[in-house]
Amino acid sequence: MTDLLLTNVRLLDPASGLDQTGDLLVRDGKIADLGAGLGRPDGAETVDGGGAVLCPGLVDMRVEVGEPGGEWRETVASAAVAAAAGGITAVAALPDSRPAIDDPALVRLLRARGEETGSLTVLPYGALTRGCRGEEMAELGLLREAGAVAFTDGARAIGSARLMRLALTYARGFGAKIVQHPEEPTLAEGGAATEGELATRLGLPGIPAEAEAILIGRDIRLARLTGGAVHFAHVSTAAALGLIRMAKDEGLAVTCDTAPPYFDLNETAIGDWRTFAKLSPPLRADADRQAVAAALLDGTIDAVASDHQPRDVDDKRLPFAQAATGGAGLATLLGVTLAQVHGASLPLIRAIELLTVAPARLLGVAAGTLAKGAPADLCLFDPDRIWQVHAGSLPGRAQNTPFDGRALEGKVLGTWKAGRRVFGG
Amino acid sequence: MAPPLRHLLAIEGMYPPQIAALLDLAESFVLLNRTGKTPRDRLRGHTLINLFFEDSTRTRTSFELAGKRLGADVINMSVATSSVNKGETLLDTASTLNAMNCDLLVIRHGASGAPALLARKVDAAVINAGDGTHEHPTQALLDALTIRRRLGRLEGLTVAICGDVLHSRVARSNIHLLSAMGSRVRLVGPPTLVPPEAARLGADVFHDMAAGLAGVDVVMMLRLQQERMARSLVPSAREYFRFWGLDEAKLKYAAPHALVMHPGPMNRGVEIASSVADDPVRSVIREQVEMGVAVRMAVLDTLSQSGANG
């Protein structure tokens, strides 16, 4: 492979705090050098970045890849296309597929499917319980050995306190996190929107926002009891964030992420019965949205994940209460997060940290940095270029974006995986 | 001087000289057992009742043999527990046994503390043959005798007790006995079966076999009940064997002279590989059974001398 020199870029590496104009040299798929005024080695291919930002390839810690068992909605290959267009070079894949990722062979299969794309590393979550049914604990040790990055039942909350306690205790022995969908299942059952005035007007069955804080409060106590590590996915309410903030202050092994809809949209997005905005957890009141945005800044939220959940028209073209939850998110992850930079007070380097090294550290993988010797997984983007989201013309297969029609500032110009260009150019 | 033993209910609280005296006496019975010259007049005229509320062929037979070799009259009583209120039955049984003028009462019961309750109600010397998840004192004594005969001492040894410590009466008795006699005890197993509180009993807790077995003189495996998997304390037998089952690869972490022990009955391929269990050099599992009879003879002999009916 010939050397590649990316010139005239704003090097942005949250892991080291680097933010300076310069060049980056790729050799043998790895970052060979970076800094101001690098010489051009003989025979090197040169790409002029035109002053755009060059950051590590994004690490998306919550993605449904469609495989196995949901290939008509998404495949690893089609997700890889959408990911590359979104500047994403690694995704953590949810295990509540059909079959669930509850056997070591399936962990290896998903990893291999990622390698086949050549553009996307797939980091499989292991199922916490067999079949993600919430009954018997899965073989966490064997799954971990096969490469599972953490354990979760995906979109299903672990409702049993006893099971959660055992899982936190047992996983501690392997140094593994439990990732929880934080929604008290008996309160959430049958609900379609956050309980409140809007749901009442629309006549939709509600889920109280407290369903989130109730389960998070319980699990924080179980983390304290067991010494285990719990991570809460797509946190969306002020009350829950308050509990997480206190747990972190206490020094417990408690972390969380959120997804762009929860800091960019509020419950009014479901007006006019827009089923693409039907998500799990449901979109919240604006005060909660503001609390999520503030928590990105103050560090209560550790990472931003796309929470990409591919759905097709048969899932979504239904009366609102019957429609499936979930939104496509790979292609819009960066752009919507950058809206917090442009429209609010989130520093650019913090935004990129939330999308790169922070999720990589949560997953325990060596990715998301521009370190010398690291694989050249790179994302080149123009933070100011404007584009508009159109459901129907998104890259990849899934088109169910809750951001349809949204104008975004910040566009990916190029993505490289191990030094090979997989998007743009 | 340590006070004479009235009952044998638990190792916890026993004085090291009491333990050493039992081991010394048992040692003398080992040779007599092998030559068939046991003193059959020692317990002549004494009545020993084996009162088993839980099935146990191995322990009951061992006590029966021990009693007979010392000349006692041995009676086995198996009591079904499923249909009766346990507390009431136990006290009713106590008054029945008192009426029979029993001298030595060996009891196994599924409830922790049952032998202690019985001991307050009967005149006989009570020997705990395993109560719930509390203690199994004669198992710890026979384990100690086995180790002492093989390695020459207990003091200064490091012993790893591996597996389901949480539910093990064998583990509890061994922790107390080995600690009292100057051994260092490690507990090794998944966090769901080796709780952090176990360290408060005076042992070091490990969840990884490589670290837990490093350099130890004795590897003591515990039985894993199938029920633990049904209750999600452990996901599967194959996972348990992979991480906590004793095979030749894991045994290499222990000292080259390390002994392999198991209280029986074994789950081969779950907590122990056959190649290790049947290793003629390292495994002392059959020897443990032989020591069991000698230790129980020593216990019966000692208690019959000091008991109220002695």
DSSP string, B32-44: HHHHT---TTTTT
Between A1 and A310, the higher pLDDT residue: A310
3-state secondary structure of A292: helix
Residue A267 has pLDDT above 60, yes or no: yes
Confidence bin at B228 (pLDDT 50/70/90): confident
B235 touches chain A (CB under 8 A): yes
pLDDT digits (tens, 9 = 90+) for B240-274: 999 999 999 999 999 999 999 999 999 999 999 99
State whether A166 and B233 contact (CB < 8 Å). Answer: yes
Confidence bin at B82 (pLDDT 50/70/90): very low
Confidence bin at B308 (pLDDT 50/70/90): very low
A166 touches chain B (CB under 8 A): yes
Show residues of chain B in contact with A139, CB under 8 Å: 235-236, 238-239
Q: B35: distance to nearest CA of chain A, Å?
A: 50
CA A200 to CA A216: how far, in whole Å? Answer: 26
Region A143-149: mean pLDDT is 98
Region A128-138: mean pLDDT is 97
* Number of A–B residue contacts, CB under 8 Å: 40
Residue A392 has pLDDT above 50, yes or no: yes
Q: Comparing C-alpha atoms, which of A174, A113, A112 is closest to residue A138?
A: A174
For chain B positions 159-218, those within 8 Å of chain A (CB to CB) are 190-192, 196, 207-208
How far does Cα B232 stand from its chain's mean position? 27
Provide the pLDDT for residue B83.
44
> Nearest CB to A136: which of B191, B208, B232?
B232
CA A101 to CA A123: how far, in whole Å? Answer: 12
Catalytic: which of A60, A103, A307, A404?
Answer: A307
Provide the pLDDT for residue B309.
44
Confidence bin at B227 (pLDDT 50/70/90): confident
State whether B235 and A163 contact (CB < 8 Å). Answer: no
Query: Most A CBs within 10 Å: which of B166, B192, B209, as the mutation test of the A interface?
Result: B192
| pTM for this model (two decimals) | 0.95
Residue A170 has pLDDT above 80, yes or no: yes
A307 is catalytic: yes
Q: Are B110 and B81 in contact (CB under 8 A)?
A: yes
State whether B235 and A173 contact (CB < 8 Å). Answer: no
Percent share of chain A, pLDDT over 90: 97
Show residues of chain B in contact with A172, CB under 8 Å: 191, 207
Let me know if A314 is exposed, middle or buried by CB neighbors in 10 A (0-12, 13-18, 19+): exposed
For chain A positions 127-146, those within 8 Å of chain B (CB to CB) are 135-142, 145
A161 touches chain B (CB under 8 A): no
Residue B87 has pLDDT above 90, yes or no: no
In sequence order, the 6+-apart residues with CB closer than 8 A to the CB of A289 are A262, A263, A264, A265, A266
Question: Phi/psi zone of residue A197: left (φ > 0), alpha (ψ -120 to 50 degrees), beta?
Answer: alpha
